[in-house]
Each structure stands twice: as C-alpha cells, then as structure tokens.
Amino acid sequence: MLKINNNSIKFHHNNETHIETILKFAALVLIVLVYFFYMSWKYGASTGFGVSILTWSFFVLCTPISDGGFILAFPIRLLFKVRMVITQIVLWFVAVGINIVFLLSSPKTYELTFITRLLNHILIEPYPYWSILIISALGTFLSIFFGDEMMDVASHKERETNHRHGAKYRAISVFGLGVLTVVAYYFLLNSLRVVLPA
C-alpha cells in the first residue's frame, strides 16, 4: 500500500533528487514557452494562448504521465508546501473546467491542431473514449506520487517508497496503463480515419 510521506526535507538545489526535479521543470517550461510563441506567431496571441492552454489540458487529462500538471504543481509545492498529488487533482478539475468553457464558447479552437482535435473527440464522445481519461488519471496519480517523494528526500537511495513499489509502478504504468492508452488511441485514430505516417 502506498503511503504519503509528510516528512519532507527543505528544498535545496544541491540535493540529487531536487536537481533532477529542477531540470525536468526547466525543460517543460521551455517546451511550453516555445509552443506558445509558435502558436501565437501562427494564429495570433489570443488564439495561440487558447490553443496552448487546450494542449496543456490534453496532457493533463489524456496522458498517463504527470508532466502537464507538474509544470504548475512543482512551483506550488515549493512556494506553498502543498503536496503535488493534491495540486494535480485540483489541476485535473481546472483542465476539465477550461474545456467546458472552450466547448461552450469557442469550439472552433479545437480544429486548429491535431492534438486539440483529438482532445475534442475524446471529450464529446464519452463512450468509449472517456476510458482514456480514467486510464490517464490513474497513471498521472501514480507518477506524481513518486514525484512528491523526490521532493521529500535528498538522494535516490533515500526513496523508500520508490524502492518498495517502484518496480510495481513501472510495470503497471508501462505494461498496463501504457498499453491500454496506446490501444485506446489506436481505436480513436482509427475511428477518425487518421493514418499515421510509417
């Protein structure tokens, strides 16, 4: 059984696990900024922002990794000491809210990129595509749970939960959630008659 550790140590850039977390965060911020500037250049600032935020919500809602939420969960953890698991749950509902607003007020925004078209199709067709949301939520929770532990220790050898449950987590995420996600997306792309390049 996974147990949340409330005894976190002070964040310091010299700690092995904290350096890794900072690098991951910096890489994600860079990707988001480059994507936003590209979308703004292509569609204008307002539409580019809309496409960027919908793309962010796709990664929060529709992928079994925590990178979409991590970009906000990490600084919130540093500033306010709120565990990333809690922030991730809140961000999941924020992403749902953003999509409700866009579906009601600006549905044409979804037509601008391949990812946002996929997101729109997943959201408007509950059966069978909401299974992607459920699978992704499970994977994201597991992923961010171990991300929280990275903040609670100074080095990888201190990661007790990862040492105890890490192999099980990887097996579940790669062989279970990963395979289910690929299968679900395969049927989604098939139903949309999307042919992926060989």
| pLDDT at residue 153, rounded to an integer | 46
- The 3-class SS string of 94-122 reads HHHHHHHHHHHHCHHHHHHCHHHHHHHHH
| pLDDT at residue 155, rounded to an integer | 43
* Separation of alpha carbons 161 and 179, rounded Å: 24
| pLDDT at residue 113, rounded to an integer | 92
Burial of 108: CB neighbours in 10 Å, binned 0-12, 13-18, 19+:
exposed
* Separation of alpha carbons 77 and 151, rounded Å: 9
Residues of the chain with pLDDT under 70: 1-18, 143-181, 183, 193-198
Q: Fill in the amino acid letter for 197.
A: P
* Separation of alpha carbons 104 and 46, rounded Å: 17
| pLDDT at residue 46, rounded to an integer | 94
| pLDDT at residue 152, rounded to an integer | 54
Question: The pTM is what?
Answer: 0.75
| Cβ count near 17 (within 10 Å) | 22
pLDDT digits (tens, 9 = 90+) for 103-114: 999 999 999 998
| pLDDT at residue 164, rounded to an integer | 57
Q: Fill in the amino acid letter for 115.
A: I
Cβ atoms of 181 and 104 within 8 Å: the answer is no
Q: Which two tokens stand for residue 3?
A: 């147990």
Closest CA to 178 of 79, 92, 65: 65
| pLDDT at residue 174, rounded to an integer | 57
Question: What are the sequence ranges of the domains in the chain?
Answer: 16-190
